[in-house]
Amino acid sequence: MTKEALKELKTDRPDKEQRQRVKAVWDGIAKPVNGLGQFEAIVAQIGAITGTSDIDISKRAVIVMCADNGIAEEGISHFGYEMTAIIAGEMVKGTASVSRMALSARADVLPVNIGIHQVEEIRGMIQQRVVCGTKNFRFEPAMSEEEALRAIEIGMETVKECKEKGYTLLATGELGMGNTTTSSAMAAALLGCSAEEVVGIGAGLSREGFQRKGEVIKEALEKYRFKKEETLRILETVGGLDIAGLAGVFIGGALYHIPVIIDGVISAVAALTAERLVPGVKEYMIPSHLSKEPAAKRLLEELGLHPVLDASLALGEGTGAVFLFPLLDTVLSVYEGSSTFDDINSSL
């Protein structure tokens, strides 16, 4: 995909009439108006996106974009490249955290190798590798523009395939050592804030590691001197293939009318990237939780989205987003089977 083609992409607005229809169903149910709060609005949003008030989220999946980051060579992560390949292997075996959660939530896991460092193929993954990990942004941009655009396109294509297979609800997830550094650096650049305001401990860091991580981000912001609106340049310079792929998933959600649930900080930065690249895409996003990483709150606020869970999650892989599936199932059992005020009145 070219930069020009990306700029040309347009999204429709979700269907207002269907949103009203879902709201009318909620208001007819014998319960306090808006008693299920934000969950009622999410169901109405799903109706507006999918174009029906008969909500069916039984076929759902979490798309997990897996990639390595050259910046991991700078001691900003407690773990190295090998851990990305190991956990990706667990994901296909069904023993990673997200796999267990998805099994319990009756969701499919679609792990995409969009840029794992290990050359040897991990069987069972969707093979879409752009390169074997990005470059170290301390010295040079992480990716070329072409690589970033290709990763975005892979995300969009993955959603298109999901649409063809009948999925009606998707969640985002990712895996890749060092990706809380790429995400924090991108968040600082996109939001125009300092490294100190966005840096967190990621998958666990010593005091020295945390300090080093802050310095690496600060140094990059000084080196590359981004303007907030240079979205693609920020993505290719300090971002990652996982973030680019997820930005493509959010854009795909809007193009193919599938709601996409946002997971943690990496997904949140991808969500803001997508909205800046293709304005309007955020109407198709559903926030799930507030990651423990400090950048997450700022990113979701910038998008105007309010997460429903605040449980200090910091796992990644899409786990926080998968938590929403069973919650929505519970909410839908109320939507579908509750007594209405009409039922009650007619039995009086």
Ligand X SMILES: Cc1cc2nc[nH]c2cc1C
Ligand Y SMILES: O=C(O)c1ccc[n+]([C@@H]2O[C@H](COP(=O)([O-])O)[C@@H](O)[C@H]2O)c1
Q: Could you give the string, one character per residue 226-245, with x where binding to ligand X holds by CB under 6 A and - elsewhere?
A: --------------------
Q: Which is nearer to ligand Y, 203 or 327 (CB)?
A: 203
Encoded tokens for 89? 């292997």
As a whole number of angstroms, the distance between CA 286 and CA 305 comes to 8
Residue 307 partner contact from ligand X, ligand Y, none using kind-dependent CB cut-offs of 5 to 8 Å: none
Q: Is 220 in the site for ligand Y (CB under 6 A)?
A: no
Active site residue 317: yes
Any residues with CB less than 8 A from the CB of 126 and at least 6 apart, and which? 110, 111, 112, 113, 158
CA 238 to chain centre: 18
As a whole number of angstroms, the distance between CA 107 and CA 149 comes to 28
**Sole residue written with tokens 């910038």:** 302
Q: Which of 115, 259, 316, 318 binds ligand X (CB under 6 A)?
A: 316
Q: Which of residues 178-207 bind ligand Y (CB under 6 A)?
A: 178-181, 202-203
Q: Which helix (H) or strand (E) covers residue 158, if one does?
A: helix 145-164
Applying CB under 6 A, the span of 40-48, 147-155, 187-195, 314-322 interacting with ligand X comes to 314-322
Q: Which of residues 173-212 bind ligand X (CB under 6 A)?
A: 175, 203
Q: Which of 20, 31, 79, 163 binds ligand X (CB under 6 A)?
A: 79
Q: Which of 102, 187, 235, 314 binds ligand Y (CB under 6 A)?
A: 314
Q: Is 316 in the site for ligand Y (CB under 6 A)?
A: yes
Q: Reading across the β-sheet that carries 108-115, which strands appear in turn?
A: 126-127, 108-115, 60-67, 169-175, 260-262, 285-287
Catalytic residue among 8, 215, 317, 336: 317
Applying CB under 6 A, the span of 103-111, 175-183, 217-225, 328-336 interacting with ligand Y comes to 175-183
The CA-atom distances, in angstroms, between 166 and each of 57, 66, 77, 145 are 10, 24, 38, 32
Residue numbers of the site for ligand Y (CB under 6 A)?
A: 77, 79, 174-181, 202-203, 263-266, 291, 293, 314-317
